[in-house]
């Protein structure tokens, strides 16, 4: 009888608590939950921008007409400048649009040709960089919002502790602290991937810019090649 009673008393106290990060995130007050939801929305937003830009940039980089430069060289050697321009228009690729700017300025000084191609190249790069400034803001905003949620959680924890009647229970403070720290952890969990996404996209854009530089150099070699 005594053993059965002891077992009934010990069993509830020894129940294992299952760690749930989701419960920790939304265990705080209304203000902390609003901050947490905002951070999660930023995470979803950064993932959407990353995937949309990644697919667009990859599509632009994969467009590679191996015969583009050879066909333009043949047309220019035949003196068919207008046909070369029309060919670039039909291709409708970033490389073709850059070459088109150079072809339409054949006969002008080299500096004018280079300037026109560089300007078009900047336009093409700006298309690739669309909304990247928004993605770059996420790694800065998410940790700050997480820290704000942490501060709010700590304030409410100490407020509850100061207004608690009777003996002080460490549980009140500990719950407030781990809930508040969950806000910071979530902010960092959103900021770190977003920063990685941003730098990955920049690397892909740098690859495109290098490709454009080689394209411009090859074009200048063609128009300056002795007949």
pLDDT at residue 192, as a whole number: 94
pLDDT at residue 196, as a whole number: 95
pLDDT at residue 11, as a whole number: 45
Angle between the 94-103 and 68-77 helix axes, to the nearest 10 degrees?
20
pLDDT at residue 3, as a whole number: 42
Q: CA–CA separation, 88 vs 52, rounded Å?
A: 27
pLDDT at residue 180, as a whole number: 74
**Exposed, middle or buried by CB within 10 Å (0-12, 13-18, 19+), for 101?**
buried
pLDDT at residue 211, as a whole number: 83
Reported pTM: 0.75
* Cα-based distances in Å from 186 to 66, 158, 173, 176, 192: 47, 22, 20, 16, 10
pLDDT at residue 74, as a whole number: 86
pLDDT at residue 92, as a whole number: 79
List per-residue pLDDT tens for the chain, 227 residues long. Answer: 444 444 444 444 445 555 555 565 656 567 777 888 888 899 999 999 999 999 988 887 776 666 788 888 888 888 888 898 898 888 878 888 888 888 888 888 888 888 888 888 889 889 888 889 999 999 999 999 888 888 877 777 777 777 766 665 666 666 667 777 778 888 899 999 999 999 999 998 998 888 888 888 888 888 887 55
pLDDT at residue 202, as a whole number: 92
């Amino acid at each position: 009888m005594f053993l059965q009673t002891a077992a009934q008393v010990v069993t509830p106290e020894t129940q294992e608590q299952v760690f749930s990060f989701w419960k920790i995130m939304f265990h705080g007050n209304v203000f902390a939950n609003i901050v947490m939801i905002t951070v999660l929305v930023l995470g979803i937003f950064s993932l959407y921008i990353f995937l949309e830009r990644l697919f667009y940039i990859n599509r632009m980089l994969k467009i590679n007409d191996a015969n583009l430069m050879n066909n333009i060289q043949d047309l220019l050697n035949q003196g068919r400048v207008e046909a070369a321009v029309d060919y670039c228009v039909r291709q409708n690729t970033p490389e073709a649009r850059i070459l088109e700017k150079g072809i339409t300025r054949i006969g002008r000084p080299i500096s004018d040709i280079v300037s026109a191609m560089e300007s078009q190249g900047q336009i093409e790069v700006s298309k690739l960089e669309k909304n990247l400034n928004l993605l770059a803001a996420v790694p800065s905003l998410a940790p700050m919002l997480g820290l704000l949620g942490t501060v709010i959680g700590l304030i409410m924890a100490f407020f509850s502790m100061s207004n608690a009647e009777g003996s002080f229970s460490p549980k009140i403070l500990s719950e407030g602290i781990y809930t508040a720290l969950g806000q910071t952890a979530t902010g960092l969990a959103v900021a770190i991937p977003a920063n990685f996404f941003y730098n990955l996209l920049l690397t892909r854009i740098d690859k495109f810019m290098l490709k454009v530089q080689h394209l411009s150099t090859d074009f200048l070699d063609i128009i300056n090649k002795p007949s």
